[in-house]
Amino acid sequence: MAQLLSEYISFGKPDFSEQEVDAVTRVLRSGWVGMGPEVQAFESELASYLDVSCAVTVNSCTSALFLSMLVLGVGVGDEVICPSLTWCATANAALYLGATPVFCDVSRVTFNQTVEAVMEKVTPRTKAVVIVHYGGLAFDVVALREHLPARIPIVEDAAHALGARYPGGKLVGSSGNLVCLSFYANKNLSTGEGGAIVLRDGATADRLASLRQNAYPLNAWKRFTDRHMLLSSGLTELGYKMNYTDLQAALGRVQLQRQPKLNDRRLDIARIYDSALASTGCLPQHHLTHPDHARHLYAITLPDGVDRISLLERCRSRNAGMTIHYAPLHLMPLYESSARLPITEELGNRLLTLPMSSSITPGQAESVAAIFVQELRPR
């Protein structure tokens, strides 16, 4: 019988090495810790990795979503379609701009929205569609684009999906849409906090880069490196304080280089879980052990009749850090939604997430799986 784990295995512990420590130390010793040369280098390397023209870093994926909707003209009276099975930031970014999030249902197999579910929600007021690559499984944005009216842009919430590939094999981020990434503490590429918007249009990227820094045309690093440049007083629009820093970017540059190794470990963990859960009646998200899946989450649908909260608490008491992703947004009072989304509501009651991180060893994953299987059995 699997015993109490010697340490708590959380669902998404970051994986930092001495390389990241050295990179941060280098920046601290440089005397410049704000937005500067490391940010510029990271943006260039990230854009190259994803095969896009531009990457604009910001302080969070929430800010990335907000700024993306802002530059697309989302505002009061508009509707923004998004799934309900997601983190609140996906919908909140629309609310910040005075728009209304309109929630759509998802697939019971992929946990992603479907083309049909999105199209059912389109109205003359639809200003944008935000799709979510749930757990790291890429949604087919090309298929949606073929059905969606040309006037409606697609924004991709790819907070889970760095390293995932669309159907056809191209990396998530390379679509040409405004694609929003997260570098939060538990993400596949972690810099503690932060995010980015990757895109192909240079003019839009320039506007995003200005908006993240109070809409000034010159940032602090440009003023520092070119002493003839002065702070412009010619503000033309309202900007925000949403910039990234060199401390974060130094972490990001190392994490980007380490992605192949980190992804391999996530695949190892997913295979261990798949093997252990094969005869339990639990249904993992589709394609979890396919190379195109980023495996940010290892999410499963529990069998009927399982007391999910009791199971979660029992596993946690043995240091196996299960959790839930996510409570459906359309059922929360904040959103005042009258939508009825049967698959989302079913999944909202049955989903459970096992710990998934490249910092987990295969031995720890085997122990987590053993604890889960034992606690799942009827008592």
List the 54-58 sheet strands across, edge first.
54-58, 195-199, 178-182, 154-157, 126-132, 79-83, 100-104
Helix 259-277 to helix 246-257 angle, to the nearest 10 degrees? 60
How far is CA 212 from its chain centroid?
19
DSSP category for residue 330: G
**166 band by pLDDT with thresholds 50, 70 and 90:** very high
**Helix or strand or coil: residue 51?**
coil
Catalytic residues: 187
pLDDT tens digits for range 79-101: 999 999 999 999 999 999 999 99
Cα 249 from Cα 244, distance rounded (Å): 7
**What pLDDT digit, counting tens, does each position of 270-312 carry?**
999 999 999 999 999 999 999 999 999 999 999 999 999 999 9
pLDDT at 256 over 70: yes
pLDDT tens figures, 18-41: 999 999 999 999 999 999 999 999
- Domains of the chain (ranges; CATH) run 18-257 (3.40.640.10), 259-376 (3.90.1150.10)
pLDDT bracket for residue 224 (50, 70, 90): low
